[in-house]
Amino acid sequence: MSVLVFAEMQDGGFKKAAKEAVTYGRKTADMLGVECHALVLGGELPAEASQLGLYGAAKVFGVSHENLTDFDSKLYAHGLAEVARKTGAQVVVLPFTVRGKALGGRVAAALGAASASGVNSLPDLTEGFKVRRPVFSGKAVATVELKGELKVLSLMGNSIPPDDQLGSECPVETLELAIEAPGIRLLKRQKQEGSIPLPEAERVVSGGRGLKGPENWHLIEDLAKALDAATACSRPVADNGWRPHHEHVGQTGLAIRPNLYVAIGISGAIQHLAGVNNSKTIVVINKDPEAPFFKAADYGVVGDLFEVVPRLTEAVKRFKNK
């Protein structure tokens, strides 16, 4: 019996999501009184695989195969399911990242397991096996009971801080699996230049229609740069072509939960809030004191963004230079 964590590799290493998942896996394993194992799948195994031990893995299983170089949900799900079966895992944990989302349902179906996605709390084992997860785009929280021997959980980002004090460097055991031929062929990869990727950003500066046009976006970018933040926007801004679509946050865009979300010239429509209301701290800058966003904000500034934002950027720079 064990907990098996899919330690997702990104750019040949492990990012926060993988470390959070291992931390979560270890804490769950402790509750169940079993070991926590991590699994790394890829074309090549990174040297730092043994470091996952710091976050609580007792052992890392590594499967490297040329067919796993590019991501194919079928091959990855089958690899993960096979290792889960071989090692007698009773709980499989994945990060709820883009890849984790492509895998979670698939792995659950491959294992015939009960599953919950977007989980944001450790399991409650007092009666059955229960986890909590946000629903209705963060407007509510559901408690879900999972039945049966096997469970698959995908962990919402920023739900548990990665803890590198849970163990020490651990052994890496390579496993030989028969990996089928990939059905997906990578043609090209396009990097988003320069900026911080939005899904994992700790801080986000976001602009709405109040900015009036794309020519004013330097206000957003300058503040984002000072704060070391990613940039985002409301839906009409993306629909108008002022900003790229991948910056659109909200119910029909990306859902994010950074530590800091600064909303500038955004009214705070319910569909926008749905994508950002799980942010830890929300700052709203709007000239209309009645803007609905103020109800969801921690800090509010009622004023003209064209004056307030440059002032804030300067204040942040002063603070950083101190």
Partner 1 sequence: MKILVCISRVPDTEARVAFTAEGSAFDESGVTFIMNPYDEWYALVRALELKESLGGSVTVVHVGTAASDPIIRKALAIGADDAVRIDAEASSADFTARQLAAFAKSENYDLILCGKETIDYNGAEVPGMLAELLGLPFVSHAEKLEMEGQKFVLTRPVTGGTEVVEVEGPLVVSAAKGMAEQRIPNMRGIMMAKRKPLKVVPPVEVEEKVQFVHFELPPAKKEVKLIDPENMDELVRLLHEEAKVI
Question: Which positions from 210 through 229 interact with ligand FAD, judged by CB under 6 A?
Answer: 210
Does position 286 interact with ligand FAD (CB under 6 A)? The reply is: yes
Are 57 and 25 in contact, with CB atoms under 8 Å apart? yes
Q: Say how many Å lie between the first and final Cα of the chain, rounded.
A: 53
Does position 122 interact with partner 1 (CB under 8 A)? The reply is: no
Please choose which of ligand FAD, partner 1, none residue 12 contacts, taking the beta carbon within 5 to 8 angstroms, the exact cut-off set by kind.
Answer: none
Which is nearer to ligand FAD, 74 or 287 (by Cβ)? 287
Residues between 64 and 103 that touch partner 1 (CB under 8 A) = 70-74, 77, 97-99, 101-103
Select from 44-52, 60-68, 85-93, 303-311 the region that touches partner 1 (CB under 8 A). 303-311
* Minimum gap (Å) between residue 261 Cβ and partner 1: 10
Tokens 């209301």 label which residue? 277
Which is nearer to partner 1, 49 or 263 (by Cβ)? 263
- The span from the CA of 148 to the CA of 151, in Å, is 8
Binds ligand FAD by CB under 6 A, chosen from 117, 234, 277, 279: 234
Q: What angle do CA 305, 307, 313 make, to 5 degrees?
A: 85
Cβ contacts of 109 within 8 Å, gap of 6 or more: none
Cβ contacts of 260 within 8 Å, gap of 6 or more: 202, 203, 204, 227, 229, 279, 280, 281, 283
Binds partner 1 by CB under 8 A, chosen from 85, 139, 212, 218: 139
Chain position whose Cβ is nearest to ligand FAD: 250
CB-based burial, 207-230: b 16+ in 10 Å, e otherwise:
bbbbbeeeebbebbbbbbbbbebb
Please count the CA atoms within 13 angstroms of the CA of 271 that sit on its side-chain side.
8
Concatenated DSSP letters of 99-138: HHHHHHHHHHHHHT-EEEEEE-SPPB-SSS-EEEEEETTT
Does position 174 interact with partner 1 (CB under 8 A)? The reply is: no
Binds ligand FAD by CB under 6 A, chosen from 104, 118, 253, 258: 253
Q: What angle do CA 249, 159, 77 make, to 5 degrees?
A: 80
Please choose which of partner 1, ligand FAD, none residue 2 contacts, taking the beta carbon within 5 to 8 angstroms, the exact cut-off set by kind.
Answer: none
* Minimum gap (Å) between residue 295 Cβ and ligand FAD: 12
Binds partner 1 by CB under 8 A, chosen from 32, 105, 163, 306: 105
Q: Which residues bind ligand FAD (CB under 6 A)?
A: 208-210, 234-237, 250-253, 265-267, 269, 271-272, 275, 286-288, 291, 304-306
